[in-house]
Amino acid sequence: MAEKKKILRALAGETLDTPPIWMMRQAGRYLPEYRATRAKAGDFLSLCYNPELAAEVTLQPIRRYGFDAAILFADILLVPQALGADLWFVTGEGPRLSTISGAEDFARLKTPGDIHATLNPIYETVKILARDLPEETTLIGFAGAPWTVATYMIAGRGTPDQAPAHALKDSNPEIFDALINRITEATIDYLSAQIEAGAEVVKLFDSWAGSLKDSDFLKYALEPTRVITEALKARHPHVPVIAFPREAGDHYIGFAKATGVDCVALDNSVSPEWGASNVQSDGCVQGNLASRHMVTGGQDLIDDTLAIREAFSKGPHIFNLGHGITPDADPENVQLMIDTVRS
């Protein structure tokens, strides 16, 4: 059956008449069934670490929409927590972590081999999903890319320009590089364990890659992705890797060849025509409808969806948003997008 799954066919380089489709953050607050399950869990982290409930919210958009893939419900900040960072969520404001500002803070982190005691519930969720998903639905595991995870570990929260991480990178490169390497090693082990539990594809989310310029992008976005991909391919040769170096701009060009990933996900700051000419020439691309369409809907959604499908129609393509769906999205607009892609 795996050979017939549409997303795996696209990731292998096949051009399909109708692109497979899934959506970043497709299990989330825009769905009433998700909100009900989260209320049952009590709080966000309790939901992440409850395998039965995490599997349930992962399955909800598959039942409702019939997406071609399910993505594991978890959070990129579980790896920092597993490495020993304190992690909590403030209602209405987002995540908070204990911070890394120097050698003393770094010395308190655990080694990558110690992460699994914390993350075992995530692997249990993957096992449930591998068992319960429809046989035609691909299971995607994921992790945050090292640069993006490091920005949260250094600042203790999300920031508009990742300034604290840039400051540590410039003022204390030894500790910064050590932190990137620690996250990289942990991410390899984390994604490998997801694959062993049943994930058929894994994805690296580098949400803040766009704030890295020139040689910093190559060193802290491209190179960690290459190292992770190479290690995963050595352990699991047949498992595809998707990378999302968001807002990479011209650095999208050649990213797949330089890192070895099987697919590059594009944000909507680049046009699909540009992506087809400059990125799809190297293989599969994913994207890149603007998330705002899931709020506004209407003819603009239809027109942009058809334009993206047409632009990428001559090569392997997975239809997706250019970033995650937002909590204020209308579930009916998601259905309209899917119907338009598949019409």
Percentage of the chain lying above the pLDDT 70 cut: 99
Tell me which residue range forms the domain holding 279. Answer: 2-342
pLDDT tens for 51-74 read 999 999 999 999 999 999 999 999
Q: d(Cα 27, Cα 43) in Å, to the nearest integer?
A: 15
**Cα-based distances in Å from 14 to 4, 18, 158, 199, 316:** 11, 11, 37, 21, 5
Q: At residue 28, what is the residue type?
A: G
Residue 92, pLDDT score: 82
Choice among 34, 65, 75, 189 that is catalytic: 75
Residue 70, phi then psi, degrees to nearest 5: -110, 135
Q: At residue 202, what is the residue type?
A: V
Residue 275, phi then psi, degrees to nearest 5: -60, -40
Q: d(Cα 42, Cα 24) in Å, to the nearest integer?
A: 23
Nearest to 231 by CA among 280, 177, 195, 179: 195
Overall domain count for the chain? 1
Residue 2, pLDDT score: 56
Mean pLDDT, residues 194-216 taken together: 98
Mean pLDDT, residues 111-128 taken together: 97
Choice among 30, 49, 123, 152 that is catalytic: 152
Q: d(Cα 142, Cα 133) in Å, to the nearest integer?
A: 17
Which class for 135: exposed (0-12), middle (13-18), buried (19 or more C-beta within 10 A)?
exposed
Residue 222 DSSP class:
I
Residue 17 DSSP class:
S
pLDDT category of residue 91 using cuts at 50, 70 and 90? confident
Q: Is 152 a catalytic residue?
A: yes
C-alpha torsion sign, points 257, 259, 264, 267: negative
Q: CATH code at 236?
A: 3.20.20.210
Q: Is 25 a catalytic residue?
A: yes
Choice among 35, 38, 64, 342 that is catalytic: 38
Q: Is 304 a catalytic residue?
A: no
Residue 27 DSSP class:
S
Mean pLDDT, residues 10-30 taken together: 97
Residue 141, phi then psi, degrees to nearest 5: -95, 170
Nearest to 204 by CA among 122, 265, 257: 265
Q: Is 63 a catalytic residue?
A: no
pLDDT tens for 256-271 read 999 999 999 999 999 9
Q: Is 157 a catalytic residue?
A: no
pTM for the structure as a whole: 0.97
Mean pLDDT, residues 125-154 taken together: 98
Residue 4, pLDDT score: 87
How long a stretch of residues is the chain?
343
DSSP code per residue over 270-328: S-HHHHHHHTGGGSEEEEEE-TTHHHH-HHHHHHHHHHHHHHTTTS-EEEEESSPPPTT
Query: What does pLDDT average to over the chain?
Result: 97
- Whether the per-residue pLDDT at 3 is higher than 70: the answer is no
Structural contact between residues 100 and 167, judged by C-beta atoms closer than 8 angstroms: no
pLDDT tens for 245-255 read 999 999 999 99
Which SS3 state, helix, strand or coil, does residue 201 take?
strand
- Whether the per-residue pLDDT at 1 is higher than 60: the answer is no
Residue 218 DSSP class:
I
**Cβ neighbours, 10 Å, residue 335:** 14
Mean pLDDT, residues 8-17 taken together: 98
Structural contact between residues 276 and 314, judged by C-beta atoms closer than 8 angstroms: yes
